[in-house]
Structure 1
Amino acid sequence: MKKGLFSLLASRRFGPFFFTQFLGAFNDNVFRQALILLIASGAVTAVSVNTLNNVALALFILPFFLFSALAGQVADKYDKASLVRKIKFVEVCIMSAAAVGFFFDAVYFLLGVLFCMGLQSTFFGPIKYSIIPQQLDDKELVSGNALVEMGTFLAILLGSISGVLLKMDGVGDGVVAIAVVGLALLGYLAARGIPSAPAADDGLKLNWNLWKETWHIVGYAREVKSVWMCVLGISWFWFLGAAYTTQLKVYVDDYLLGTDGLYAVLLGTFSIGIGLGSFLCEKLSGKRVELGLVPLGSIGLSVFGVDLFFSYAGLEGNGQVDIAGFLQQAGGYRVLMDLLGIGVFGGFYIVPLFAFIQHRSNPKHLSRIIAANN
């Protein structure tokens, strides 16, 4: 792999950006998992745990609906590398506030911080995918997107596990606070190494009417029919992925009757599958930007998803089931293979779609098209 997939990580035009987005995703999941466990600990008794978890999810997603139109304009109007550095500095400030919230177990305050995190992610999202074609050539687009998807899901896995470990009984309240601030600082330092990525449309005048601009950016996404189909495909994938990731804990608790350790194993299997699928996609595509693997990915997602439903029939719960007990049951390995398969074919599905959008879109509108997707 002298000039293969991972050689990009050593290059200045991609390496600093990769580690910036990796650390950001890692920190997001450390924070969110630690907050989920704080909520589950009963820190707030007036509202049910499930209600608070749903409120937390809504608060993180809400900024994407409200501010993506503005975020897309900003990403097209200004130098993306400079924007990333400013956004990561804001993350340091947000995580400093989060540190205070974790130290005092202030759940409602942390929910407000979570909204700010969602807002920061809203502005980073369009840059994350539109900066790649500015730094890489067409033959490297699939490789770059494969690495980003691998890194994102590895960060989700490691961040979620770290969030659990940092909030376990016996760990000091200040540890998670130090961790989220430290990770934010590392992300800011990585961002300082990103080379300039000039504005795609520096003459753009910002439209502050967010509702009207939302329809404008959707219009940009629909200019090229094949790009619009990719936007819809990506949206469907994240809708499906959100369903799996948000319901996996319920599946483990209520149907498998499993422990938190089992939940971590299943989440890890799913995340590893996405990373493996992204890696294989880069190899199977021959580094060409084409959609041949997308139908295969959708078929695999469907087959393994349906089998996951039937694999439950072979499991029997008798008290809490740990990892060893789960694997001894008739359907244990089948559930693992189904989640791995969903992840692998998810990688086949998502990587070519992002690369195709970057390849076929008008460069002046690319950030706004990604914002429309968000």
Structure 2
Amino acid sequence: MILKLLVTRRFAPLFWSQFFSAFNENLVRNMLAMIILFKVGAERAGPLVTLALAAFIAPSLVLSGLGGQLADGHDKARVARWLKLAEVGVQVVAALGYWFDSIVALYAALLLLGLIATLYTPIKYGILPDHLRRDELTAGNALVEGAGFVAILLGLAAGGLTGLEGIPKELVVAELVVVALLCLVSTWYIPGAPSKVPDLRIDRNLFGSTFSLIGDLRRDPRMWVGALGSGWFWLSGSVALVLVPVIVKQQIGAGVEVETAISLFFAVGVGVGALLAGWLCQGRIVLKHAPWSVAAMGLFLLDAGWTTATAADATERVSLSAFLHSGTGLRLVIDLVGLACAGGLFSVPVFSAVQSWAAPERRARVVAGVGVLNAVMMIVGASVTALFQTPWLAVPNPVLLLALGVVNVGAAVYFGRNLPDAAAAAAAYIPVEAAARPGE
């Protein structure tokens, strides 16, 4: 099924569009992080790197409602093309920021990319049930999530490499432009998905329309718990990716190559977990293993926190080879890959369930509501983490990892008690018609 989906027009253009989008967002974000980590100074790096994450997800708090309404009220493919055309212009801002080492310009580009991502997310997830059959939906989500994290992996690597000496600036600028053009071209081939409610009016109250989406989710207990599950995955992953690079830089003495490798290991783990979830589900929506996956996330976080808390402070810069051959480095890599893999196993079936429970005429707004909740939870996680990192509190980063692990164990108990079982999920499934799929 996976190979078949990758060569059909009803899925392949969307697959590549979101792949290049994810690559681009993480290229710019890690480019900014490298400039902060190695040019601003270690004492200010933690809060500024955390702020970069907040800048990217902040537009979700304002524009998710608009994104859901645009996707439900218009042809999703057409809206996607206009968004990716605008993204080409944003890349110019990012290129200028990199060329002149301007943190302000890179923050601006990241904020604009977050805006585009907010409007694009309801389209890319809302259009999947329009073009995929019921038995293809979990596999499609697994591919989108898995490929998305491979793109994150590559984007983080490319962004990390921009921090190395000797990399021509012209090459990086060309990369930014080419990626934006590839994203635009692939989006242009997404098959049309006409609106089922073409007379849907856009609510001019952006804040009201955005946060009303959360109220809509809360009216359905299954949808609410599933949305909380999606948000919990993003909160845990984003906070871990904020803490670990700072830890390996400040405490272990890692250089750019280790920072990049850490991000790559995490992205590989999520991709493997997502694809493994698609394989295990075999066209069904299976939620029995989801709470155990969250418990595993907690255990890996606890071990990562303990490993870094008990590690001796480095007295010299550590190379990638030395890091991977050290007990601390190898154990931390195993913990990160395990955390990411467990996260993928949890997020894919939970989000597929939410998609399946949503009525077709409201599906994009449901996806947008999940996006709002994801953003709120990530912002809360990032803000609390940044608060504890400030000089006034100065809580050690390994202790914050330990705390995140403890909270994940508690979250596993919550989801174990509140997520519906597989039979309930299957009974609640809303069938998706298989008619009118171009490019089969």
Partner of 1:109: 105
Please say if 1:228 is aligned against 2:221.
Answer: no
Q: Displacement of 1:51 after TM fit?
A: 4.9
Per-residue deviation, residues 97-132 of structure 1 (Å, max 9, x unmatched): 322333333332332222211111110111121111
1:181-200 paired onto structure 2 within 5 Å? 181-200=177-196
1:244 to 240, 246, 251: 240
Residues 314 and 329, structure 1, Cα contact 8 Å, conserved in 2: no
1:349-368 paired onto structure 2 within 5 Å? 349-368=346-365
In percent, how many aligned pairs have the same letter? Answer: 34
Per-residue deviation, residues 201-243 of structure 1 (Å, max 9, x unmatched): 2121111112321342123222321111100111111111111
Q: Structure 1 residues 173 and 117, CA, compared in 2 at 3 Å: closer, same or farther?
A: same
1:64-103 paired onto structure 2 within 5 Å? 64-103=60-99
| Rounded Cα–Cα distance in structure 1 between residues aligned with 2:60 and 2:92 | 23
Residues 150 and 271, structure 2, Cα contact 8 Å, conserved in 1: yes
Please say if 1:12 is aligned against 2:9.
Answer: yes
Q: Structure 1 residues 146 and 90, CA, compared in 2 at 3 Å: closer, same or farther?
A: same
Q: Structure 1 residues 266 and 49, CA, compared in 2 at 3 Å: closer, same or farther?
A: closer
1:114-263 paired onto structure 2 within 5 Å? 114-263=110-259
Q: Displacement of 1:333 after TM fit?
A: 2.5
Residues 220 and 368, structure 1, Cα contact 8 Å, conserved in 2: no
| Rounded Cα–Cα distance in structure 1 between residues aligned with 2:38 and 2:10 | 44
1:60 to 48, 52, 56: 56
Q: Structure 1 residues 172 and 372, CA, compared in 2 at 3 Å: closer, same or farther?
A: same
| Rounded Cα–Cα distance in structure 2 between residues aligned with 1:149 and 1:71 | 20
| Rounded Cα–Cα distance in structure 2 between residues aligned with 1:264 and 1:55 | 19
Residues 213 and 369, structure 2, Cα contact 8 Å, conserved in 1: yes
| Rounded Cα–Cα distance in structure 2 between residues aligned with 1:313 and 1:38 | 26
| Rounded Cα–Cα distance in structure 2 between residues aligned with 1:205 and 1:93 | 28
Q: Displacement of 1:334 after TM fit?
A: 2.2
| Rounded Cα–Cα distance in structure 2 between residues aligned with 1:330 and 1:177 | 38
| Rounded Cα–Cα distance in structure 2 between residues aligned with 1:23 and 1:291 | 30
Partner of 1:341: 338
| Rounded Cα–Cα distance in structure 2 between residues aligned with 1:97 and 1:14 | 31
| Rounded Cα–Cα distance in structure 1 between residues aligned with 2:324 and 2:33 | 27
Q: Which amino acid letter does the alignment assign opposite residue 367 of structure 1?
A: A
Q: Displacement of 1:37 after TM fit?
A: 2.5
| Rounded Cα–Cα distance in structure 1 between residues aligned with 2:64 and 2:28 | 22
Q: Structure 1 residues 336 and 48, CA, compared in 2 at 3 Å: closer, same or farther?
A: closer
Q: Which amino acid letter does the alignment assign opposite residue 335 of structure 1?
A: L
Residues 237 and 340, structure 2, Cα contact 8 Å, conserved in 1: no
2:319 to 312, 318, 322: 322
Q: Structure 1 length normalisation: TM-score?
A: 0.92
Q: Structure 1 residues 333 and 113, CA, compared in 2 at 3 Å: closer, same or farther?
A: closer
| Rounded Cα–Cα distance in structure 1 between residues aligned with 2:176 and 2:226 | 34
Q: Displacement of 1:90 after TM fit?
A: 0.6
| Rounded Cα–Cα distance in structure 2 between residues aligned with 1:41 and 1:321 | 15
Q: Which amino acid letter does the alignment assign opposite residue 356 of structure 2?
A: H
Long gaps (5+) in structure 2: 372-440
Q: Displacement of 1:96 after TM fit?
A: 2.2
| Rounded Cα–Cα distance in structure 1 between residues aligned with 2:215 and 2:360 | 15
Q: State which drifts further: 185-194 or 47-56.
A: 47-56
Per-residue deviation, residues 324-362 of structure 1 (Å, max 9, x unmatched): 322333333222221111111111100001110111111
Long gaps (5+) in structure 1: none
| Rounded Cα–Cα distance in structure 2 between residues aligned with 1:54 and 1:289 | 34
Q: Structure 1 residues 41 and 255, CA, compared in 2 at 3 Å: closer, same or farther?
A: closer
Q: Structure 1 residues 266 and 107, CA, compared in 2 at 3 Å: closer, same or farther?
A: closer
Partner of 2:438: none
Residues 59 and 115, structure 1, Cα contact 8 Å, conserved in 2: yes
1:7-46 paired onto structure 2 within 5 Å? 7-42=4-39
Q: Structure 1 residues 328 and 315, CA, compared in 2 at 3 Å: closer, same or farther?
A: farther
Q: Structure 1 residues 116 and 139, CA, compared in 2 at 3 Å: closer, same or farther?
A: same
| Rounded Cα–Cα distance in structure 2 between residues aligned with 1:305 and 1:365 | 36
Residues 278 and 351, structure 1, Cα contact 8 Å, conserved in 2: yes
Partner of 1:312: 308
Q: Displacement of 1:41 after TM fit?
A: 4.9
Q: Which amino acid letter does the alignment assign opposite residue 193 of structure 1?
A: Y
Q: Displacement of 1:182 after TM fit?
A: 0.9
Q: Structure 1 residues 102 and 253, CA, compared in 2 at 3 Å: closer, same or farther?
A: closer
How many pairs are equivalent? 369
Q: Structure 1 residues 36 and 327, CA, compared in 2 at 3 Å: closer, same or farther?
A: closer
Q: Displacement of 1:368 after TM fit?
A: 1.2
Q: Which amino acid letter does the alignment assign opposite residue 340 of structure 2?
A: G
Q: State which drifts further: 187-196 or 218-227.
A: 218-227
